[in-house]
Amino acid sequence: MKRLHRFLLLIPGLLGLAAGALAATPSELADRAWLQEQNIPRWVRDVFAAKKLDGKYEFSFHLNPFYLRGDFNGDRIPDVAVLVKEKKSGKSGILIVHGTSKQSFILGAGQGFGNSGDDFSGINIWEVYLKGPVERGVGMGPPPLLKGEALWVERAEAASALIYWDGKAYKWYQQGD
């Protein structure tokens, strides 16, 4: 019984510490964002700055992982997809940077793309979809033949789609509703 009382006496102190850890100062939040950004590959951050995308967009960390690596254009060189947010509107999207050409593409984040429109904030699952056969989607015609890997994006319990490279641009293929 004494052990239980000791534990119960510790709970308020532990909860106070936990609550204090959640109440970060603006400086601590800025440090945290900087540390998260350092996890994005340097070459992607360099392209982001060189193309002056950092004036309109910022990296977003609302999903984990906040970037994915895959061969999206089929050239056998790794490309990176990273979550971004348009600063002015707060709308979420995806930045894809091709590894060889450093060509960049913004999908969503204030620019219309696929069935998610210009804001991908409802997407709560994403992953790399390996190159291979694609199952027929919902009312979108025959499935695409993938040139490389694709991005699988999903609103849990609602809808899913593939974002894939067709050789010229990124396309949306609705998988489920």
Low-confidence ranges of the chain (pLDDT < 70): 1-23, 29-30, 140
- Give the separation between CA 177 and CA 172, rounded to whole angstroms: 14
Asked whether residue 21 is domain-assigned, the answer is no
Asked whether residue 7 is domain-assigned, the answer is no
- How many domains, the chain? 1
- Give the separation between CA 172 and CA 67, rounded to whole angstroms: 19
Owning domain of residue 67:
39-176
Asked whether residue 143 is domain-assigned, the answer is yes
Phi, psi (rounded to 5 degrees) for 97: -120, 125
- Give the separation between CA 30 and CA 100, rounded to whole angstroms: 32
Residues 45, 52 contacting (CB under 8 angstroms) = no
Asked whether residue 72 is domain-assigned, the answer is yes
pLDDT at 145: 95
